[in-house]
Amino acid sequence: LLRREAQKRRLQRQEQRAQRWLLRGDGDWGPRLEEYYCDLYGDATRCPLAELPANASNVLQTGGETRCIFDDSTPYAFQVVPGSASRLLVYFQGGGACFNEDSTELGLCSTDAAPYSPLDGILDPTDAKNPYVGYTVVIILYCSGDAHGGNVVRDYEVDGSSVVQVGQLNVQAALDWVAQQQDNGGLNAELDDLVMSGESAGSLGVQIWGADVAEQISAKRVKVLPDAFVGVFPETYTPQLIYDYGICPWFSTKAVREKCYALELLMPDITKDQLERLGDEVPYMSMSSKEDEVQIAFYESIVLTCGGSVDEVIGPAEFYDQANAIMEQYAPYNFVNFYVQSDVHTFTDEKYFWTASIYGEASRQLGSTHMLHVWVQSIDTELEVCEECSGAARSCEEGRGTQYCDEELAGNCAAQQPAPTEELALAAAAAAA
């Protein structure tokens, strides 16, 4: 499964490059925007937003110390779709993870900076249903294999190439450019709305970076939408893998930094720190499939490439139990989750965003309050969203399968501050569409 997923992403990137200049197709995909390139050469003052072509996908190559994982990978870049000066969507791209020599040789991570084309889900700037249509979109592309958090030169090579993982530097280069736009007037000095999201490894990225993005980009309102990868990883091996990414010095919270150095840090520790730093005014709206086959496969890949045994791998039911146990740790914060009864991996960058409900990824309950896209946009119209899940509320115990909802999460809600009048009107228009 992991090999197929890696091959699928490679084929997608090849298709994107081959089709880059084609017009929009038969309507089954989002728009293929014209693509323009601009070089920053390590200088965030270059390529100002006001001078980028509108209604286009702009690929800004960062230069400086940024790079993708291999010596022969593409130069690092991030993607910008210009829109409103007061509303910004920062999106972390996914693409697997390379966490040791075996996983890197297996090709379990994206190795080139490949812009999204076509743009679907919440990235589609032409779909009136999209709650973020009209936003300026900054997509932090992913080619470092480190969940956007690494800063390390590995002590091994793959196919004659050094392995350098500097996701930290890549993300910061994009954020420096955004901050410069607030300084030069391309974006408002204080945004009305800042939305952060990411899919797959990008979900881990937004869970690592969320509070730092909110601290660097001034905004009246902030919301976070992680898509998949709730953090179900084998606890025996994960602390070492986090440490090996070279991320420990980056953590600003002393307790998190110390746990990292002590080889005790797990993903829920990182996310709880983010929730505490973001505070009660920032809704944290997670979405996940109950039986996510890619998350389960990556759990297995960690076990088997770190010297574990087949007995340590998990199936859908145990994955779901562990995911619930993790989310119970987040429930005291301004956190809420939407569960889809499915094995599909991600939604926000897919057509599934419009069809997924608590009953499955391609629900026939269109228009129902249990639809994922309705749930996401309702935070702007209702100012509160609550846990969504299909099944009877029961205790989280092994052997129940996935047809239940954790009673500890039932009724859990997240709230958002009221928006300016203009923002409420825009949200209402999107809901009506």
Which of 31, 87, 397, 92 lies closest to 228, judged by CA? 92
CA distance 281 to 185: 26
Distance CA(75)–CA(83), nearest Å, equals 25
Which residues neighbour 350 within 8 Å (Cβ) at sequence distance 6 or greater? 120, 121
Residue 419 — pLDDT band, cuts 50, 70, 90?
low
**Gap between the Cα atoms of 145 and 69, Å rounded:** 7
> Which pLDDT score, from 0 to 100, does residue 109 have?
95
pLDDT in tens, 271-310: 999 999 999 999 999 999 999 999 999 999 999 999 999 9
Q: How does pLDDT run across 387-402, given as a tens digit for each residue?
A: 999 999 987 665 579 9
Token pair listed for 207: 């869970």
Average pLDDT of the residues of the chain: 90
Confidence (pLDDT) at 365: 58
Give the lowest-confidence range in 14-23, 108-117, 165-174, 224-233: 14-23
Both tokens assigned to 2: 């992991």
Count of residues making up the chain: 433
- CA-nearest of 246, 268, 269 to 322 is 268
pLDDT, average across residues 76-97:
97
Greater model confidence, 20 or 10: 10
Per the structure block, which two tokens stand in for 173? 């280069």
Nearest-CA neighbor of 224 among 235, 234, 212? Answer: 212
Tokens representing residue 171 in the block: 């993300």
Of the two residues 258 and 19, the one the predictor is more confident about is 258
Q: At what angle do helices 201-216 and 167-184 cross, to 10 degrees?
A: 40
| Residues 69 and 143: beta-carbon distance below 8 Å | yes
18 confidence band (pLDDT: 50, 70, 90): very low
The strand pairing partners of 226, in sequence order, are 198
Q: Region of 93 please: left (phi>0), alpha (psi -120 to 50) or beta.
A: beta
- Which of 252, 258, 288 is CA-nearest to residue 273? 252
Over residues 349-368, the mean pLDDT reads: 82
Written as six digits, the tokens of 429 are 């228009």
User: Whole-angstrom Cα distance, residue 361 to residue 291?
Assistant: 12
Distance from C-alpha of 189 to C-alpha of 172, rounded to nearest angstrom: 19
This model's pTM is above 0.85: yes
CB 73 within 8 A of CB 143: yes
The mean per-residue pLDDT over the stretch 26-33 comes to 53
268 or 33: which leads in pLDDT = 268
Q: How far apart are CA 205 and CA 213, in angstroms?
A: 11
What is the Cα gyration radius of the chain?
A: 20
Q: pLDDT-derived band of residue 57, with 50, 70 and 90 as boundaries?
A: very high
**What is the Cβ-side half-sphere exposure of residue 165, based on CA atoms within 13 angstroms?**
27
pLDDT band at 6 (very low <50, low <70, confident <90, very high): low
The pLDDT score that the predictor gives to residue 418 is 78
Burial (CB < 10 A; 0-12, 13-18, 19+), residue 253, is middle
Q: Alpha-carbon distance 412 to 333, whole Å?
A: 10
| Residue-level pLDDT at 432 | 62
Q: What is the pLDDT of residues 92-142, one digit of tens each?
A: 999 999 999 999 999 999 999 999 988 999 999 999 889 999 999 999 999
